[in-house]
Structure 1
Amino acid sequence: MSLYRPVADAAARAPDALAVRDLTNSLSYGELDTRADCCLAALRAHGVRPGDRVLVWTDKTVASVAVAQAVLRCGAIHVPVPRGNPARRVAQIAADARPALVVTDHDEHIAGAVHVPCGDLFLERANGPAAAPHPVRPADPAYILYTSGSTGGPKGVCVSHGGALAFVDWACGELRLTAADRLANHASFGFDLSVFDLYAAFRAGASVHLVGETLARAAEPLVDFLLESRITVWYSVPSALVLMAEYGELLERGPGALRACVFAGERFPLKALKDLRRAWPDVRMLNWYGPTETNVCTSYEVTDADLARTTDIPIGSPVAGDAVSLEAGEIVVDGPTVMLGYWGGRPQSGPYRTGDLGRYDAEGRLEYRGRVDDMAKVRGHRVEPAEVSGVLVAHEAVRDAVVLVVGNGLDARLHAVVVPEPGCAPEFAQLRRHCSDFLPPYMSIDALHTVSGFPRTANGKVDRAVLRSVVARGAAV
């Protein structure tokens, strides 16, 4: 089985059924299947071969979904990059992935890469013969998701067809998805939550409704979307639901057709979670856990019993055939959903050490206890502070920089502590603009602190504990 097979199967069963809808367009399964085959022929005409990477730098549209299907049918590797990523960061991704082709729906280009407009792929072979998909094996790579890297640049998590489907098949069974379901896609295509939204919908023959990048951050319009689109299954980071509850009257307006609400990516503040549970007593609520390298590897279902809870809910028990254990307090995952490896690096061998700390509760369920290293979740996205500090140091007014994550969950913020170049006084707004040229919006700094030099430990490393006290005192901004 491959990630492209579910669309073809659904098209054979019910070609007129709705497959995917964006804010302005929609495609039935028959139309999506036809457009994917058309695009497949065009990709081959552009020289794309099995194993090649195709970087798709577009908005969230039905066209970009068809392109992704075509890339998979070509036996190539899909590299989705959200449109909001600045060109300089996309250039870093392209330098690592070395794509055979970059597909865009805008005018920005990456130097040295071969580009083709998304729309042209459907016109070039519109009247040509149908192209047969390339057969793939479960172990063949399907996509690469680029995340924040500890070395100062993005790194690509490579996932196989079989690894993705192990999760998708489990999720379809757990949520009892049917062709009547209507799934929302809130996450960007470069974020691993979208794997469920798209491929679980296609596996069940359901429809997936794309939430545009701008709409994804607008509370009241998001609630309108949920209700007017008659969404039955919602999956997002908790902060999106909190935003909708606080500023979009989500609790007051009710869940509409919603029957399952799934969240992942960060801790859900307990009070807000209890409020949601009380407001939606008939909606299943599930907390899923797993880094991009493993997709979802544990799950916990929230029930009315959790209304009496005084501590955060667990991340739950292993799913999708994975084995999850603790080694010296660190969460370690082995099983079918674990990545193939980081693109360009050594293949993943054996269990994956997540860098997350955990412990078992009295019922034997895992609880999340924080990070072994400095990586953190900010606004529902994984952030390596080293990547942000590397961008700051590239600014002409900054000699050195350290980025600290202050706060937890929805309150997590990125604080930049910088040593200015002599005679310079970098301003917060100036550095925010600089960050926006290199980083996605969720990685921009939230506060700026300037110091004459960094405190050091006995072995010469930056003393982050002392820096945190500087931030707590409110150093000069």
Structure 2
Amino acid sequence: MSRYGDGAGSLNGDRAVSLYSPVVDAAARTPDALAVHDHTTGLGYGELDRRADTYLAALRGRGVRPGDRVLVWTDKTAEAVAVAQAVLRCGAVHVPVPRSNPAGRVARIAADARPALIVTDHTDRVHGIDSVPCAALFQEAAHRSGGTHRSDAAHHPVRPDDPAYILYTSGSTGAPKGVCLSHGNALAFVDWACRELDLTAADRLANHAAFGFDLSVFDLYGAFRAGASVHLVGETLGQAAEPLVDFLLERRITVWYSVPSVLVLMAEYGELLERGPGALRACVFAGERFPLKPLKDLRRGWPGVRMLNWYGPTETNVCTSYEVTAADLARTSAIPIGSPAAGDRVALDDGEIVVSGPTVMLGYWGAAPQAGPYRTGDLGRYDADGLLEYRGRVDDMAKVRGHRIEPAEVSGALVAHASVRDAVVVVVGAGLDARLHAFVVPETGCAPGFAELRRHCTHLLPPYMAIDALHTVGGFPRTANGKVDRAALGRLVARGAGV
């Protein structure tokens, strides 16, 4: 039997029921073992456990109760991990928002999530959210966690179906949309991933994704589940090829997980293949198609490293997996997204990928609970070997720079400019070449320029939603039923429509 027991066991064979219990267990078992390390600070499991309990007491002192949402808008640090653990121990719901999100977008997320508290490392960041209390817990409690636990730090017991966190993604209505996942949703995926990769306490995982993105769930909770260590890649390092390769080698990372575009960047500009994999034994990627040539180069250059392609929208965690082997060097088309994972059931309904099972979300925050299988909006088909292939989307949602983007949210930000009457955003290109083209109908008078609109959007959108090109038009082409003809706009780009 696996040391994970029936699929939800921890290192000591006990069944975990919450996302905070692995840290508690590891702290009791190996308190001095490294748990999390950022660019300056490393916390052992015992210290992470103590700091989490200190923050837990601080949260309760500010009135946070089970079921409340706590929005955490901070840099990606070990202290932020301790705060997240405290939120979960309180029975509250963790709402992580990456530091790169501007205050305007945070305000919209807060209006939707209605948090009891916003935790930030600098209270002067928050503007226009006066209705929500704000706390710089880091300044209050960061170094008051020594000694025994506080007597009022008892952890709130949770059930598998209790909500654990809300991840905000780009929304088709023009506003961010909150995906609510339970402790059980996350553990079903994390436990499967631990078995799939045979994680042990000796592993060193890299965390490249921001805490507000679903890829971080495996990095953090997979490491804690195995009693391993997780090493945080700072957001400023996220697209720096050579420093990322330095990080991989100097931190002796054994398991890497990121979007393919980051690995391609590291290979093209960071001499990833020339410098070798170091201690790496498993490389996992997800979130977008991996172009075939650089993938083959990586597979050929790292014969001793396992390579896995994971698929699943935020709403399902990871629901399929495919391991890339030497046999794939003969492929002439994109690799498949594979077979069902984590106990999920994956089917095609009129070509659309539909998922049901233990990793599927509770629902969108503020909307009705998820009922029945989740329709992903992704198109798929089975290859000759019965493996699932990704074939595109049924709607306008796209992956750009490894992030899920609804063009409507970007066009909504553009229309908020006083000189823009209407706007449509079209994704041109695919995979690593995908770019956001904005078509803008100006109000009477001088049309705003590209730099001005980019600057305007920085107050409403995160950096990965920045437009790549601007086209000023008098109106939009329409289909026979009156909808904007996005294909025609794409053809305008191909013909070199003016900027």
TM-score grouping bracket, smaller chain normalisation: over 0.9
Residue 45 of structure 2 is aligned with which of 4, 29, 45? 29
2 CA distance for matches of 1:467 and 1:103?
A: 42
1 CA distance for matches of 2:360 and 2:251?
A: 34
1 CA distance for matches of 2:313 and 2:458?
A: 25
Normalising by the residue count of structure 2, what TM-score does the alignment of the two structures yield? 0.94
How many angstroms does 1:318 deviate by? 0.1
Gaps of 5+ in 1: none
How many angstroms does 1:108 deviate by? 0.8
8 Å CA contact 1:43, 1:121 repeated in 2: no
Within a 5 Å distance, the mapping from 1:321-470 to structure 2 comes to 321-470=343-492
How many angstroms does 1:124 deviate by? 9.4
2 CA distance for matches of 1:230 and 1:465?
A: 47
Answer with 119-128 or 455-464: which moved more. 119-128
Deviation string, structure 1 residues 92-149 (Cα, Å, up to 9, x no partner):
0000000000000122113321000031352597584351100000000000000000
- Matched with 2:8 is none
2 CA distance for matches of 1:280 and 1:118?
A: 44
How many angstroms does 1:423 deviate by? 1.2
Corresponding residue SS for 1:54: strand
- Matched with 1:116 is 135
Deviation string, structure 1 residues 278-315 (Cα, Å, up to 9, x no partner):
11000000000000000100000000000010000000
8 Å CA contact 1:42, 1:125 repeated in 2: no
8 Å CA contact 2:51, 2:142 repeated in 1: no
Within a 5 Å distance, the mapping from 1:13-412 to structure 2 comes to 13-106=29-122, 107-109=124-126, 110-122=129-141, 126=145, 128-129=150-151, 131-412=153-434
1 CA distance for matches of 2:104 and 2:314?
A: 23
1 CA distance for matches of 2:137 and 2:326?
A: 47
How many angstroms does 1:245 deviate by? 0.3
Amino acid across the alignment from 2:265 = L
8 Å CA contact 1:42, 1:124 repeated in 2: no
Corresponding residue SS for 1:201: helix
Answer with 392-401 or 365-374: which moved more. 392-401
How many angstroms does 1:476 deviate by? 1.4
1 CA distance for matches of 2:272 and 2:250?
A: 13
Corresponding residue SS for 2:379: strand
How many angstroms does 1:325 deviate by? 0.2
Amino acid across the alignment from 1:11 = A
Amino acid across the alignment from 1:336 = P
Corresponding residue SS for 1:299: strand
Amino acid across the alignment from 1:98 = R
How many angstroms does 1:467 deviate by? 1.5
How many angstroms does 1:53 deviate by? 0.2
1 CA distance for matches of 2:286 and 2:303?
A: 20
RMSD (CA atoms): 1.0
Superposed structure 1 runs of 4+ greater than 4 Å apart = 123-128
How many angstroms does 1:166 deviate by? 0.0
2 CA distance for matches of 1:462 and 1:118?
A: 48
How many angstroms does 1:422 deviate by? 1.1
- Matched with 1:12 is 28
Amino acid across the alignment from 1:224 = D
1 CA distance for matches of 2:345 and 2:490?
A: 36
8 Å CA contact 2:79, 2:142 repeated in 1: no
2 CA distance for matches of 1:328 and 1:121?
A: 55
Deviation string, structure 1 residues 413-466 (Cα, Å, up to 9, x no partner):
000011111112221111111111110111010001111111122222112222
8 Å CA contact 1:39, 1:121 repeated in 2: no
2 CA distance for matches of 1:342 and 1:23?
A: 34
1 CA distance for matches of 2:477 and 2:310?
A: 39
How many angstroms does 1:356 deviate by? 0.1
Deviation string, structure 1 residues 11-49 (Cα, Å, up to 9, x no partner):
011000000000000100000001011111110010000
8 Å CA contact 1:50, 1:74 repeated in 2: yes
2 CA distance for matches of 1:85 and 1:203?
A: 29
Normalising by the residue count of structure 1, what TM-score does the alignment of the two structures yield? 0.99
2 CA distance for matches of 1:473 and 1:417?
A: 14
2 CA distance for matches of 1:209 and 1:134?
A: 28
8 Å CA contact 2:252, 2:279 repeated in 1: yes
Deviation string, structure 1 residues 188-217 (Cα, Å, up to 9, x no partner):
000000000000000000000000001111
Corresponding residue SS for 1:293: helix
Corresponding residue SS for 1:217: coil
Corresponding residue SS for 1:136: coil
8 Å CA contact 2:58, 2:137 repeated in 1: no
Amino acid across the alignment from 2:262 = A
Corresponding residue SS for 2:111: helix
8 Å CA contact 2:50, 2:145 repeated in 1: no
Answer with 100-109 or 168-177: which moved more. 100-109
8 Å CA contact 1:167, 1:296 repeated in 2: yes
8 Å CA contact 1:449, 1:474 repeated in 2: no
Closer, same or farther in 2 for the Cα pair 1:130/1:120, shift >3 Å?
farther
Deviation string, structure 1 residues 257-293 (Cα, Å, up to 9, x no partner):
0000000000000000000011100000000000000
